[in-house]
């Protein structure tokens, strides 16, 4: 006796059985006879049975399951990205930890021979240890967070195994329960992602020299709002007397010099502190405090607006000059302008801008003199300011718009070509774009983030 089972997709399940049971043998419970065929002698050749109507709803379930599976696959992709980033940061944290351990053992050693050592050295080390002490619980927290991510990974792998298995055996698993599990996991992942994408700047790595071109001063950038596939590069050489923007389809086209378009702006620009955000170029119009929004798609100026009381034309430039009075930038939270005013005694003012109207939404006054700032960039609503555009430059001061507080810091930047005329953060790439004396460079940044585990179920 042959037994054939065929699954015909649009009609739920149809099974072809090698006997003719319709009259004498009832199909298994839950199945009904769909049709049967007999040979010339009246013997039954086969019967087609189908699941009873109510069981056809399983097909909807299988569709839902496929969606769930897709969702899980999407999540595993996100997890991979997360994991990659976290691993990078994690290595840094581990290094820091081992340095601290080294310091601690040195400290113990010194303590045991302290009579033989100069008190001053001892005090210095002790001070350093005390400074580092509060970091220890933070490090512990970080390690817990990294564990949490690998747990996520494992849970997702498990769930997707379960799903794959039950796709073939629908009904064996409680769909509602499964859905709850997936949704719960997704929620936690989202939460985790949003916490992980922002953080405090800890370290600047690099640079990588992408290209050597142009004058000593200029700007190059990509659009942080563009889709991951869109890697267009824009290039604006020189800080004055220019209005030609060059566009490249990708970084590799940029490196090999294959231009895809040029735009001839209606007004000259001032400085090197332009930004491309969501398909528009924002720049400071020459000899004014007007900000221009130019749309690449339409090739037209969409908006222009004066930045009220902002100094311009080398009244409040960065240390290198170059009409760098008004610095436009974007981060995870949106579009920003950094500048100085007489009212704030030439100190830096931070303004959040509406990307469409260029209106100021909110402003913060810092106490850091614009003329003493080498460059500045914004990450997650915090402004980081370097103290020079020359060798030895470091991130020296930060101002959080979330808490309206400042902090002195000491994060070195390798100023490889000795003169920095542009430095801007790109949230999509989590990197700093720099113009380093006619070299277009990229720095990676390490952001320190704590994932709160209170949403763990
Ligand atoms: C998975 O991701 C793709 C692409 O990002 C998206 O189109 C699709 O809707 C996502 N699927 C689910 C179930 O979230
Ligand atoms: C994943 O499955 C393995 C083997 O069944 C099990 O040992 C492990 O605890 C599961 N992990 C999670 C996070 O559910
Ligand atoms: C980006 O531009 C599109 C239209 O071009 C708009 O719908 C969207 O809200 C903009 N996004 C941001 C963050 O401004
Ligand atoms: C930044 O890190 C990524 C991933 O670790 C690496 O591929 C890239 O080369 C780094 N870029 C810089 C500028 O260091």
Give me the mean pLDDT over the 370-389 stretch: 97
Q: Which band of pLDDT confidence, cut at 50, 70 and 90, is reported for residue 71?
A: confident
Domain at 198-448: CATH code? 2.40.128.630
Give me the mean pLDDT over the 86-99 stretch: 68
Q: Is the minimum distance from the CB of 73 to ligand 1 under 6 angstroms?
A: no
Whether the CB-CB separation of 313 and 303 falls below 8 Å is answered with no
Q: Which band of pLDDT confidence, cut at 50, 70 and 90, is reported for residue 217?
A: very high
Q: Is the minimum distance from the CB of 216 to ligand 1 under 6 angstroms?
A: no
Bridge partner residues of 348 (DSSP): 340
pLDDT at 346 over 90: yes
Q: Is the minimum distance from the CB of 74 to ligand 1 under 6 angstroms?
A: yes
- For the record, the structure tokens of 451 come out as 């994932």
The angle subtended at Cα 398 by Cα 393 and Cα 404, nearest 5°, is 165
Nearest CA to ligand 2 atom 2: 158
Sign of torsion over alpha carbons 80, 83, 89, 95: negative
- Whole-number Å distance between alpha carbons of 105 and 96: 14
pLDDT digits (tens, 9 = 90+) for 406-426: 999 999 999 999 999 999 999
Give me the mean pLDDT over the 390-398 stretch: 95
The per-residue pLDDT of the chain, averaged, comes to 78
Sign of torsion over alpha carbons 310, 314, 316, 322: positive
pLDDT score for 172: 45
Q: Is the minimum distance from the CB of 67 to ligand 1 under 6 angstroms?
A: yes
pLDDT score for 20: 42
Ligand 3 — pocket residues by CB below 6 A? 225, 278-279, 355
Q: Is the minimum distance from the CB of 206 to ligand 4 under 6 angstroms?
A: yes
pLDDT score for 224: 94
DSSP string, 316-353: S-BTTBTTTT-EEEEETTEEEEEEEBTTTTTEEEEEEE
Nearest CA to ligand 2 atom 4: 158
- Whole-number Å distance between alpha carbons of 369 and 385: 10
pLDDT at 6 over 50: no
The angle subtended at Cα 80 by Cα 76 and Cα 84, nearest 5°, is 165
Q: How far apart are the first and last CA of the chain?
A: 53
Query: Which region among 28-42, 110-124, 288-302 has the lowest average model confidence (pLDDT)?
Result: 28-42
With CA atoms as reference, report the closest residue to 425 among 386, 368, 367.
386
pLDDT score for 34: 47
- Whole-number Å distance between alpha carbons of 274 and 286: 12
Expressed in angstroms and rounded, the spacing between residue 30 Cα and the centre of ligand 3 is 53
Upstream peptide bond of 207 is cis (omega within 30 degrees of 0): yes
Nearest CA to ligand 1 atom 3: 74
Percent of residues, the chain, with pLDDT higher than 90: 50
The angle subtended at Cα 155 by Cα 450 and Cα 93, nearest 5°, is 30
Query: Which region among 70-79, 158-167, 251-260, 298-307 has the lowest average model confidence (pLDDT)?
Result: 158-167
pLDDT score for 199: 78
With CA atoms as reference, report the closest residue to 305 among 269, 358, 352.
358
Whether the CB-CB separation of 315 and 372 falls below 8 Å is answered with no
pLDDT score for 92: 67
Closest ligand to Cα 331: 3
Q: Which residue has the higher pLDDT, 5 or 308?
A: 308
Give pairs for 401-407: CB < 8 Å, separation 24+: 401/350, 401/352, 401/362, 401/364, 404/364, 406/366, 406/367, 406/368
The angle subtended at Cα 248 by Cα 243 and Cα 252, nearest 5°, is 140
Q: Which band of pLDDT confidence, cut at 50, 70 and 90, is reported for residue 238?
A: very high
The residue ranges of every structural domain in the chain are: 64-110+124-167, 198-448
pLDDT digits (tens, 9 = 90+) for 110-139: 656 655 545 555 566 566 666 666 666 666
Using the structure block, give the residue that is written with the tokens 């170059």. Answer: 322
- Whole-number Å distance between alpha carbons of 178 and 169: 14
Half-sphere exposure of 205 (CA within 13 A, CB side): 11
pLDDT score for 229: 86
Q: Which band of pLDDT confidence, cut at 50, 70 and 90, is reported for residue 61?
A: low
Q: Is the minimum distance from the CB of 256 to ligand 1 under 6 angstroms?
A: no
Give me the mean pLDDT over the 196-219 stretch: 89
pLDDT score for 388: 96
pLDDT score for 447: 78
- Whole-number Å distance between alpha carbons of 82 and 199: 14
């Amino acid at each position: 006796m042959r037994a054939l089972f065929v699954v015909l997709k649009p009609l739920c399940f149809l099974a072809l059985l090698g006997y003719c049971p319709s009259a004498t043998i009832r199909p298994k419970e839950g199945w009904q006879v769909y049709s049967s065929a007999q040979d010339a002698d009246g013997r039954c050749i086969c019967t087609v049975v189908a699941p009873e109507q109510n069981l056809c709803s399983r097909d909807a379930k299988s569709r839902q399951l496929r969606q769930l599976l897709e969702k899980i696959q999407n999540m595993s992709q996100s997890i991979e990205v997360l994991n990659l980033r976290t691993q990078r940061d994690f290595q840094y944290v581990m290094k820091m930890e081992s340095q601290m351990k080294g310091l601690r053992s040195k400290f113990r050693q010194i303590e045991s021979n302290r009579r033989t050592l100069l008190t001053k050295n001892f005090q210095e080390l002790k001070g350093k240890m005390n400074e580092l002490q509060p970091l220890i619980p933070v490090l512990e927290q970080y390690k817990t967070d990294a564990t949490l991510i690998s747990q996520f990974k494992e849970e997702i792998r498990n769930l997707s195994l379960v799903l794959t298995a039950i796709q073939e055996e629908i009904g064996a698993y409680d769909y509602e329960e499964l859905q709850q599990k997936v949704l719960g996991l997704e929620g936690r992942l989202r939460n985790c992602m949003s916490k992980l994408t922002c953080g405090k700047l800890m370290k600047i790595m690099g640079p990588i020299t992408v290209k050597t071109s142009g004058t000593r001063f200029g700007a190059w950038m990509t659009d942080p709002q563009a889709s991951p596939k869109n890697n267009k590069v824009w290039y604006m050489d020189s800080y004055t007397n220019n209005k030609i923007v060059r566009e490249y389809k990708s970084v590799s086209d940029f490196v090999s010099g294959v231009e895809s378009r040029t735009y001839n702006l209606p007004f000259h620009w001032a400085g090197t502190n332009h930004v491309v955000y969501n398909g528009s170029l924002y720049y400071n119009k020459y000899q004014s405090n007007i900000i221009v929004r130019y749309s690449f798609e339409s090739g037209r100026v969409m908006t222009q607006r004066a930045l009220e009381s902002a100094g311009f034309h080398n009244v409040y430039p960065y240390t290198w000059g170059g009409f760098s009075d008004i610095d436009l930038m974007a981060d995870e939270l949106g579009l920003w302008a950094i500048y100085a005013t007489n009212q704030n005694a030439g100190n830096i003012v931070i303004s959040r801008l509406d990307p469409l109207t260029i209106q100021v939404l909110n402003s913060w006054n810092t106490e850091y003199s614009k003329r003493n700032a080498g460059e500045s960039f914004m990450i997650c609503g915090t402004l980081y300011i370097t103290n020079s555009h020359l060798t030895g430059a470091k991130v020296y001061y930060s101002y959080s718009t979330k808490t309206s507080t400042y902090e002195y810091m000491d994060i070195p930047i390798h100023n490889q070509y000795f003169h920095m005329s542009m430095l801007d953060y790109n949230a999509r790439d989590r990197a700093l774009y720099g113009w380093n004396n006619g070299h277009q460079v990229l720095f990676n940044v390490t952001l320190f983030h704590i994932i709160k585990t209170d949403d763990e179920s």
